[in-house]
Chain A
Amino acid sequence: RKEVEQDPGPFNVPEGATVAFNCTYSNSASQSFFWYRQDCRKEPKLLMSVYSSGNEDGRFTAQLNRASQYISLLIRDSKLSDSATYLCVVNWQAGGTSYGKLTFGQGTILTVHP
């Protein structure tokens, strides 16, 4: 089983649509959770951290369910500029150390079309 699993996608949606991405993680001791976006041939950019209470940033809403080890990202009113790969990322404590280790899901490709 992969440590972080995401919907494979790709998702092709029209402008204005609402789209949801899901992610599950295997390590119950995971400490923190993030969504990154990555444009083609660019670096990953932090989109938002994900908190247990859920959090919202404009059109983006992230949810975390620790009991189910499940993370989600909802994008409302999709824009052309939202087209990218969305990476679900989990940070856990590297074995025997106090340092964090990011593990990435495989990513979900989103294409928003006119």
Chain B
Amino acid sequence: DTEVTQTPKHLVMGMTNKKSLKCEQHMGHRAMYWYKQKAKKPPELMFVYSYEKLSINESVPSRFSPECPNSSLLNLHLHALQPEDSALYLCASSQMGTPWDEQFFGPGTRLTVL
């Protein structure tokens, strides 16, 4: 059983819609991450939050907007997405966000943009 939960599990949206992905972790971790995974490819890092502050933004388009309301919650706000943004969006957390941390992944949200 994963201690990182994500909602929704599946999301279909049009290019003009605004939607949000949610992630919650119950392990007391202080770092949280968003990854994007296309089919048959490995996950690619999008954002890192450490102690509720954005630490790393991997040059992600502004149509993706992360938010970290507190150390347990991480949101990804979506607006004006393109069909090529369809992918599995994975949230992960780790204890401190250091280069020695193990990261634990949530089950992901499978996003389809029409």
Contact = CB atoms under 8 A, between A and B. Distances in A.
Interface string A42-62: 111110010000000000000
Nearest to B108: A43
A43 B102 contact: no
B69 interface: no
A14 interface: no
Nearest to A46: B102
Contact of B105 (A43, A91, A98): A43
A45 B106 CA distance: 9
Nearest to A42: B107
Nearest to B6: A43
Given A31-B99, A43-B90, A91-B100, A101 B105 contact: no
B82 to A, nearest CB: 22
Contacts of A41: 88, 110
A46 B99 contact: no
Given A43-B90, A43-B107, A43-B108, A100 B45 contact: no
A102 interface: yes
Interface residue range, chain A: 20 to 34
Contacts of A45: 105
Interface in B6-38: 31, 33
Contacts of A105: 42
Given A43-B90, A93-B99, A97-B56, A102 B45 contact: yes
B97 to A, nearest CB: 5
B98 A99 contact: yes
B59 interface: no
Contacts of A101: 45, 48, 56, 99
Contacts of A87: 42
A99 B100 contact: no
A92 B101 CA distance: 10
Interface of A: 31-32, 34, 41-46, 49, 87, 91-94, 97-107
Given A87-B42, A99-B55, A101-B56, 8 more contacts: A32-B99, A45-B105, A91-B100, A100-B94, A102-B43, A102-B103, A103-B45, A106-B41
